[in-house]
């Protein structure tokens, strides 16, 4: 029996009068890769921002490893093991690639070490430097280590953001459209990268994606959101056959691989 790691329980979210999420319930099992799909405006990003704590939920609960985290602030949730990336990569443009990873790793090292604030004033420890090297190789940015982040291509920025989240050993990783805006080649690379990292580290991935090719090549399970409601849940082949899913997409005339 697989263990539930994150449970979303009857979550409702209002923006003023507009109901962006309506009683969404979903649970993520340890180690699975689950894709969240749905037409534009279905509430995918809203669900992510509610899970990660970026915006408060209106009703319902989010339970992580048996603890209700609905009221925790974002940084506390990250420290508990819920990492995330953003739809448009939010990286620190005025830093170098290497500094970005140092920042992420040092922060991670400090979570459980009461003396990390003092550590902050000295050179990074050997372990941080070594891990940074390893990650730079893994994401293929070793030659760009001293490049300013703002000079990176869009795809590299997204990969760096992914690496920054990965560096913190998350238990659950929320990826908001990890391949959005990438060329077909970059998309393939990124899919392979996620597969490789997942194989090495065995964390749980929850991702949204418009590119159905990516969804079907990565996901163990798929959940479908439409107008703020969860309309289907299941294995990729089940979802493919599901009539209500086809209605939700085709009824609105959206294309499957539309990029928002």
Partner 1 sequence: MSGQSPNNDFRVLKLVTLAIIAVVALGLPHWADLGITFRASLVLISILFATSFNLLFHYTGLISFGQAAYFATGAYVAALCLKSGTSVFGGIAIAMVAAGLAAAFLGYIALRASGIYFAIITLALGQIIYQVIYKWPATGGENGLVDIPRGSVNLGLVQISLSSGVSYYYFVLLCVCLGLLILWCATHSNFGLVLMSIKQDRVRTSFLGINVRLYELISFLVAGSMAGLAGALYGPLTGVLMPELATWIYSTSPILTTLLGGASFFWGPAAGALCFGFIEYFTRTMTGMSSLIIGLLLLTVVLAFPGGILGLATSWLRASPTFKRSSVMEPDTGQSTVLNGEKDNA
How near is the Cβ of 186 to partner 1 at its closest, in Å? 22
Q: Is 93 in the site for partner 1 (CB under 8 A)?
A: yes
Q: Is 181 in the site for partner 1 (CB under 8 A)?
A: no
Q: Which stretch binds partner 1 (CB under 8 A): 12-20, 30-38, 71-79, 206-214?
A: 71-79
Task: For the segment 35-64, give every residue that binds partner 1 (CB under 8 A).
Answer: 52, 54
Tell me the two tokens of residue 196.
Answer: 């490789």
Q: Which residue in 22, 46, 70, 104 binds partner 1 (CB under 8 A)?
A: 104
Q: Is 260 in the site for partner 1 (CB under 8 A)?
A: no
Nearer to partner 1, 108 or 159 (CB): 108
Nearer to partner 1, 93 or 258 (CB): 93
What number of CA atoms fall less than 13 Å from residue 115's CA on the CB side?
2
124/36 Cα distance (integer angstroms): 38
The number of residues that bind partner 1 (CB under 8 A) is: 36
Q: Which residue in 67, 71, 90, 134 binds partner 1 (CB under 8 A)?
A: 90
Q: Pick from 134, 184, 133: which is nearest to 155 by CA?
A: 184
3-state secondary structure the chain: CCCEEEEEEEEEEEECCEEEEEEEEEEEECCCEEEEECCCCCCHHHHHHHHHCCCCCCEEEEEECCEECCCCCHHHHHHHCEEECCCCCCCCCCCEHHHHHHHHHHHHHHCCCCCHHHHCCCCCCHHHHHHHHHHHHHHCCHHHCCCEHHHCCHHHHHHHHHHHHHCCCCCEEEEECCCCCCCHHHHHHHHHHHHHHHHHHCCEEEEECCCHHHHHHHCCEEEEEECCEEEEEECHHHHHHCHHHHHHHHCCCCCCCCCC
Nearer to partner 1, 19 or 129 (CB): 129
Nearer to partner 1, 168 or 233 (CB): 168
Q: Is 119 in the site for partner 1 (CB under 8 A)?
A: yes
How near is the Cβ of 197 to partner 1 at its closest, in Å? 18
Q: Is 212 in the site for partner 1 (CB under 8 A)?
A: no
Q: Is 32 in the site for partner 1 (CB under 8 A)?
A: no
Rg over CA atoms, the chain? 19
How near is the Cβ of 31 to partner 1 at its closest, in Å? 22
Q: Which residue in 95, 142, 147, 231 binds partner 1 (CB under 8 A)?
A: 95
Q: Which stretch binds partner 1 (CB under 8 A): 10-18, 63-71, 105-113, 217-225?
A: 105-113
Binding residues for partner 1, rule: CB under 8 A, are 52, 54, 73-75, 78-79, 83-84, 86, 90-96, 98-99, 102-104, 106-108, 111, 117, 119-124, 146, 164, 168
């Amino acid at each position: 029996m697989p263990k539930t790691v994150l449970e979303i329980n009857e979550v409702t979210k209002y923006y003023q009068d507009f109901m962006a999420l309506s009683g969404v319930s979903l649970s993520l099992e340890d180690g699975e890769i689950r894709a969240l799909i749905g037409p534009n405006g279905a509430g995918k990003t809203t669900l992510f921002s509610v899970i990660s704590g970026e915006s408060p939920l209106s009703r319902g609960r989010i339970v992580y490893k048996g603890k209700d985290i609905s009221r925790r602030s974002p940084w506390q949730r990250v420290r508990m093991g819920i990492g995330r990336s953003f739809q448009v990569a939010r990286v620190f443009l005025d830093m170098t690639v290497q500094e970005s990873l140092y920042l992420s790793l040092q922060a991670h090292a400090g979570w459980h070490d009461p003396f990390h604030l003092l550590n902050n004033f000295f050179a990074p420890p050997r372990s941080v430097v070594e891990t940074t090297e390893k990650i730079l190789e893994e994401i293929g940015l070793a030659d760009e280590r001293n490049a300013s982040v703002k000079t990176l291509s869009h795809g590299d920025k997204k990969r760096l953001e992914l690496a920054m989240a990965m560096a913190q050993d998350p238990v659950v990783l929320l990826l908001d459209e990890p391949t959005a805006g990438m060329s077909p080649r970059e998309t393939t690379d990124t899919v392979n990268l996620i597969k490789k990292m997942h194989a090495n580290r065995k964390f749980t991935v929850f991702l949204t994606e418009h590119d159905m090719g990516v969804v079907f090549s990565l996901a163990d399970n798929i959940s479908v959101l439409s107008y703020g409601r969860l309309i289907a849940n299941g294995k990729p082949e089940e979802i493919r056959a599901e009539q209500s899913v086809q209605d939700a997409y085709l009824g609105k005339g959206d294309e499957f691989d539309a990029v928002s």
